[in-house]
Amino acid sequence: MDRIDSQGFRANVGIILSDESGLVLLGGRVGQPGWQFPQGGIRWRESPVQAMYRELGEETGLGARDVEVMGTTRGWLHYRLPERYIRRDTQPLCIGQKQRWFLLRLRSDKARLRADASSRPEFDRWRWVSWWQPVEEVIHFKRRVYLSALMELAPLLSPVQVPPPPAWPAVRDLADRV
């Protein structure tokens, strides 16, 4: 069972998996056009680190020996669900997610990635993209959290690997609110 706090936010981990050149892994949602980073809920009695490794295994087939933890966000990053996504028939009511983000460096071969590592895969395809590309590709209500996580964790990679944030109007607007 996932943890939902008194304000209605579900505790969650997000995973930014980087390769040796600074590209990051985006997963394509099964049967949907959407793309996102691997992520998932933190269960009762599970630490964020434990949840991160469990989700990494379930969603990518990778384990602790395949990655190096480069860092994590200092605190929780929150996003609210749009009204149409809130399931009012469940208790406790979940209005959004609070996420602890992890930056991982892939240490094994990319061929080890598997979308079918769990009985209910979340992804059916992968793409390695530039550092800031996920901000444009993720569903609109997660963009601010993605930008916040990428901005906070970018200094952990070489400056050669992470270009400055793009000058897209949407990114500038989001950055002003981060």
pLDDT tens for each residue of the chain, 178 residues long:
668 899 999 999 999 999 999 999 999 999 999 999 999 999 999 999 999 999 999 999 999 999 999 999 999 999 999 888 788 888 888 889 999 999 999 999 999 999 888 889 999 999 999 999 999 999 999 999 999 999 999 999 876 667 777 766 555 555 555 4
pLDDT attached to residue 170: 55
pLDDT attached to residue 159: 67
Note the pTM of the prediction, 2 decimals: 0.89
Say which amino acid occupies 34. Answer: G
For residue 164, give Cα distances in angstroms to 131, 145, 149, 150.
Answer: 9, 18, 14, 11
The count of other CB atoms within 10 Å of the CB of residue 35 is: 20
Domains of the chain in start order, with CATH, are 9-177 (3.90.79.10)
Handedness of CA 60, 154, 173, 10 (dihedral sign): positive
pLDDT attached to residue 178: 46
- Tokens standing for 33? 């056009």
Label residues 97-109 b or e (16+ Cβ within 10 Å = b): bbbbbbbbbbeee
Indicate left, alpha or beta for 87 from its phi (over 0: left) and psi (-120 to 50: alpha). beta
pLDDT attached to residue 73: 97
Q: Within the chain, what is the greatest distance between any pair of CA atoms?
A: 48
Q: Are 141 and 81 contacting, i.e. CB atoms less than 8 angstroms apart? A: yes
